[in-house]
């Protein structure tokens, strides 16, 4: 015999908020889009800023003019695998982000040197996988980088 101090299981169920449902009856969840940008490799760089040896390349990544990050430098290489991932949550349409890539040469003495730069517009491409970004210095081709961009839906909690 209960005295009703704590309420029954039936009472608890009626007090819980109902989970929002989609039209098909599945539970509705809130998601947001993120971009995963992988700088895969530096390819066949022909411009040298060092008098001795090869450049020590790294890449600075920009999205809509804002610096998003940079890769670690690799010693003495004109081609190398980087495989570095950057994750951002863009405002609005993820394909509207305009990317710029600056290839730099890490110097132990003095300032790092810009080797070349290139741009990538996801809105202009059908596929965002294994894209080649051509790099230029003063209008001349100096090599390329390979990138992958993935658009993902992630849960908002």
pLDDT one digit per residue (tens) for the chain, 157 residues: 555 555 555 555 555 566 677 778 777 788 999 999 999 999 999 998 877 778 999 999 999 999 999 999 999 999 999 999 999 999 999 999 999 999 999 988 889 999 999 999 999 999 999 999 999 999 999 999 999 999 999 998 8
d(CA 157, CA 155): 6
- Cα end-to-end distance, the chain, whole Å: 41
Q: Are 74 and 57 in contact (CB under 8 A)?
A: yes
pLDDT 10s digits, 49-76: 877 778 999 999 999 999 999 999 999 9
The pLDDT value recorded for residue 1 is: 52
Burial of 97 (0-12, 13-18, 19+ CB in 10 A): buried
Residue 123 CA: distances (Å) to CA of 87, 100, 102: 18, 14, 20
């Amino acid at each position: 015999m209960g005295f009703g101090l704590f309420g029954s299981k039936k009472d608890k169920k009626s007090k819980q908020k109902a989970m929002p449902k989609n039209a098909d009856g599945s539970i509705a969840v809130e998601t947001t889009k993120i971009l995963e940008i992988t700088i895969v490799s530096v390819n066949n760089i022909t411009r040298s800023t060092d008098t001795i040896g090869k450049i020590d390349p790294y890449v600075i990544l920009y999205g809509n003019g804002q610096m998003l990050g940079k890769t670690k430098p690799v010693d003495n290489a004109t081609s190398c695998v980087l495989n570095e991932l950057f994750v951002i949550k863009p405002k609005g349409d993820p394909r509207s982000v305009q990317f710029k890539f600056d290839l730099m040469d890490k110097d132990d003495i003095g300032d790092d040197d810009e080797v070349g730069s290139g741009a990538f517009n996801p809105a202009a491409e059908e596929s965002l996988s294994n894209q080649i970004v051509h790099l230029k210095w003063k209008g001349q081709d100096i090599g390329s980088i390979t990138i992958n961009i993935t658009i993902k839906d992630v849960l908002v909690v």
